[in-house]
Amino acid sequence: MDRDNAFVGQSTEFLDAVERASRAAGLNRPVLVIGERGTGKELVAERLHRLSPRWAGPLVTLNCAALPETLIEAELFGHEAGAFTGATRARVGRFEEADGGTLFLDELATLSSGAQERLLRAAEYGEVTRIGSSRAISVDVRIVAATNEHLPALVDQGRFRADLLDRLSFEVVTLPPLRVREGDVAVLADHFGRRMAAELDWPRWPGFGRHAAAALAAHDWPGNVRELRNVVERAVYRWEDPERAIDDIEFDPFASPWRMAPLRAAGPLPAAERAAAATPSPHADMPCDDLREAVATYERGLLEAALRRARYNQRAAAVALKLSYDQLRHALKKHDLLEKEGQAIEVRSP
């Protein structure tokens, strides 16, 4: 595997999953890979192929969710000329392309019932029949499939065939989400940061500052490793001084005071919005003889409360207020809150 497809991590949960995949690689049996988005299911499929006796054969990938239901069977099993409108010539399917190698089916749970039935026959007997043909073609293919769904629950709901699940689940590798991989956030952040610094031709890797490292460790990472890579690489390329440790992290690239509000379809307001509109503002009856002063006082109170809740950690307060770090610093300076009661409040190092 090249460095873009390397496994990086040291947590027990992660290493156990990799070990299970490695042990299954040498067997000519199907494997299911289960995990949240961004946990590396594609990397496990590649590992299963590269460590198997089929490593010299093709590794063919199909994202089952990327094609409409009307085309998925033709993509998997191929079709003859004239089999349907637009089929001007015969085409081999992914099973035939993967003959002698591995077929990786991503987003398996999205397959239609018809495709599931044909997939079961292919997995059971090693035969596929092109659409529009009556002749079966023998194929030697190992199936590796991945999903972020709980397939037994889909079987109970009638959305997935129980016999197909039985056929494909010789081994099930469940990948842990990043939030439970103790210590791996720092390891991965350093790995991705070094690669990005090298890509930018930095003379050295300065690492992350204390505040950035704490923010990375505290984040929940719903997008797992893929999200972490984006956050780290964005932080590195936005940092202007490669001699100083990176100490500014932005988790939401869409965060902006000018972000467009989502459009709402025309029609009556939802019940919650009607109730909110009918509720008088808590400030509606407050006396006010100086609007600017009243607004400034209210804004200062919000800033002070956010700082107290964040224990005077400015970056945490900025996140709570949905501001960027620089926007919060500007607001604090405006209200003389950069130092509060003699406490130094997280000033950016020079």
Taking domain 290-350, whether its CATH number is 1.10.287 is answered by no
Q: What is the pTM of this model?
A: 0.72
Tens-digit pLDDT profile for residues 219-241: 999 999 999 999 999 999 999 99
Q: How much of the chain, in percent, has pLDDT values that exceed 90?
A: 60
Taking domain 3-176, whether its CATH number is 3.40.50.300 is answered by yes
Would the pLDDT of 172 be above 50? Answer: yes
Q: Domain-by-domain residue ranges, the chain?
A: 3-176, 180-238, 290-350
> Could you give the CA distance from residue 315 to residue 251 in angstroms, rounded to a whole number?
12
Check residues 305 and 146 and name the one with the higher pLDDT. Answer: 146
Q: What is the pLDDT of residue 231?
A: 97
Q: How much of the chain, in percent, has pLDDT values that exceed 70?
A: 87
Cβ–Cβ under 8 Å, residues 212 and 244: no
What 3 state SS string does 337-348 have? CCEECCEECCCC
Q: What is the pLDDT of residue 319?
A: 87
Would the pLDDT of 23 be above 90? Answer: yes
> Could you give the CA distance from residue 289 to residue 298 in angstroms, rounded to a whole number?
14
Check residues 14 and 6 and name the one with the higher pLDDT. Answer: 14
Average pLDDT, the chain: 87
Q: What is the pLDDT of residue 43?
A: 95
Q: What is the pLDDT of residue 322?
A: 87
> Could you give the CA distance from residue 1 to residue 14 in angstroms, rounded to a whole number?
18
What mean pLDDT comes out for the span 170-193? 96
Would the pLDDT of 2 be above 50? Answer: no
N-term to C-term CA, the chain: 41
Burial class (CB in 10 A: 0-12, 13-18, 19+), 17: buried
Quote the tokens at residue 91.
């085409």
| Listed range (42-46, 100-104, 239-243, 262-266) with the worst mean pLDDT | 262-266
Q: What is the pLDDT of residue 297?
A: 83
Tell which residue, 114, 123, 128, has the closest CA to residue 144.
123
How many CA atoms lie within 13 Å of 201's alpha carbon, on the beta-carbon side?
Answer: 0
CATH code for 180-238? 1.10.8.60
Cβ–Cβ under 8 Å, residues 322 and 257: no
What mean pLDDT comes out for the span 180-187? 96
Tens-digit pLDDT profile for residues 49-93: 999 999 999 999 999 998 888 788 888 998 888 777 777 788 889
> Could you give the CA distance from residue 167 to residue 31 in angstroms, rounded to a whole number?
10
Residues in CB range of 270: below 8 A, 6 or more apart: none
Residues in CB range of 59: below 8 A, 6 or more apart: 45, 46, 49, 98, 101, 102, 104
> Could you give the CA distance from residue 239 to residue 173 in angstroms, rounded to a whole number?
38
Q: What is the pLDDT of residue 86?
A: 72
Tens-digit pLDDT profile for residues 270-328: 665 565 555 555 555 556 677 888 788 888 888 888 888 877 888 888 888 888 888 88
> Could you give the CA distance from residue 122 to residue 127 in angstroms, rounded to a whole number?
5
Q: What is the pLDDT of residue 63?
A: 95
| Listed range (9-13, 103-107, 322-326) with the worst mean pLDDT | 322-326
Q: What is the pLDDT of residue 349?
A: 39
Check residues 293 and 201 and name the one with the higher pLDDT. Answer: 201
Q: What is the pLDDT of residue 347?
A: 42
